[in-house]
Amino acid sequence: MTVTTFSELELDESLLEALQDKGFTRPTAIQAAAIPPALDGRDVLGSAPTGTGKTAAYLLPALQHLLDFPRKKSGPPRILILTPTRELAMQVADHARELAKHTHLDIATITGGVAYMNHAEVFSENQDIVVATTGRLLQYIKEENFDCRAVETLILDEADRMLDMGFAQDIEHIAGETRWRKQTLLFSATLEGDAIQDFAERLLEDPVEVSANPSTRERKKIHQWYYRADDLEHKTA
């Protein structure tokens, strides 16, 4: 069955309202492919370039899971999202807050470049979703400041980029700390190459593999820039 509207996905009314607020009525190709198996609780291995709507492809099923199975009392995060950079973590968290704005769900970030006292508030308060960079999160795990035992879904965004940056060992350590999780979603710009395939095999269990290149309509949303570097000062700035 081909999904043509978000309403066909049987998402909570609060999520549909948030999508409508943003002017979204039709899922992109990657959303239509990834959301149904993710909603069914399957592990998902997804390939999608930037600009195809992949962030919502994993956020919507994660949010739906939290709404379908609300916790009885406050506690540590149930959804953990790992990103390669602080900037991407902030973008993902902002997107999650926009989609969850008609719910009671709490979203927080843990990244480098932020004083510990600010993160201490995250540890002491109820959080449903935490978006984090691997280095800072692993530091807190080793210091026993971050509790992974409640994590039900682990999501890796731009996994290929994290591998290129040398974070494979850190991610596997974090995955080991979340070994009680029920689901893993891994998204990458490309699934080509032995490195990303071997990495996915170690972390995912019988995943549904989805891949979606941007349609002509979606490609129009992608903007590219280039800057000329005429001298050494510009090249090293």
Give the chain's largest Cα–Cα span.
60
Q: Are 19 and 25 in contact, with CB atoms under 8 Å apart?
A: yes
In a domain, residue 79? The reply is yes
| Average pLDDT for 194-218 | 83
Handedness of CA 152, 146, 119, 121 (dihedral sign): positive
Per the listing, tokens 């689901």 go with 183
Distance of alpha carbon 197 from alpha carbon 192, whole angstroms: 7
What is the per-residue DSSP string for 191-226?
A: --SHHHHHHHHHH-SSPEEEE-PPPHHHHTT-----
In a domain, residue 1? The reply is no
Tell me the percentage of the chain whose pLDDT exceeds 90.
73
Task: Identify the pLDDT of residue 50.
Answer: 83
Task: Identify the pLDDT of residue 119.
Answer: 77
Q: Are 137 and 168 in contact, with CB atoms under 8 Å apart?
A: no
Tell me the percentage of the chain whose pLDDT exceeds 70.
87
Is 122 buried (19+), middle (13-18) or exposed (0-12) by CB count in 10 A?
Answer: buried
In a domain, residue 197? The reply is yes
Give CA separation, 105 vs 14, 71, 133, 150, in Å.
Answer: 11, 11, 21, 15
Contacts of residue 222, Cβ cutoff 8 Å, sequence gap at least 6: 49, 50, 51, 214
Q: Which residue has the higher pLDDT, 131 or 232?
A: 131
Reported confidence tier of residue 114, pLDDT bands at 50, 70, 90: confident
pLDDT at 236 over 80: no
Per the listing, tokens 């974090």 go with 174
Residue 234 CB coordination number (10 Å): 10
The rounded mean pLDDT for the chain is 88
Distance of alpha carbon 123 from alpha carbon 148, whole angstroms: 11
Per the listing, tokens 């995943």 go with 207
In a domain, residue 206? The reply is yes
In a domain, residue 135? The reply is yes
Kindly report the CATH number assigned to the domain that includes residue 224: 3.40.50.300
pLDDT at 80 over 80: yes
**145-189 confidence digits (pLDDT tens):** 899 999 999 999 999 999 999 999 999 999 999 999 999 999 999
Distance of alpha carbon 60 from alpha carbon 100, whole angstroms: 9
Is 10 buried (19+), middle (13-18) or exposed (0-12) by CB count in 10 A?
Answer: exposed
pLDDT at 233 over 60: no
212: Cα within 13 Å, side-chain hemisphere? 24
Number of domains present in the structure of the chain? 1
**124-142 confidence digits (pLDDT tens):** 778 999 999 999 999 999 9
In a domain, residue 120? The reply is yes
Q: Which residue has the higher pLDDT, 124 or 221?
A: 124
State the residue range of the domain holding 219. 6-235
In a domain, residue 93? The reply is yes
Task: Please give the model's pTM, rounded to 2 decimal places.
Answer: 0.87
User: Nearest 5°: phi and psi at 91?
Assistant: -65, -45
Task: Identify the pLDDT of residue 232.
Answer: 46
| Average pLDDT for 71-94 | 95
Q: At what angle do helices 54-68 and 29-39 cross, to 10 degrees?
A: 30
In a domain, residue 66? The reply is yes
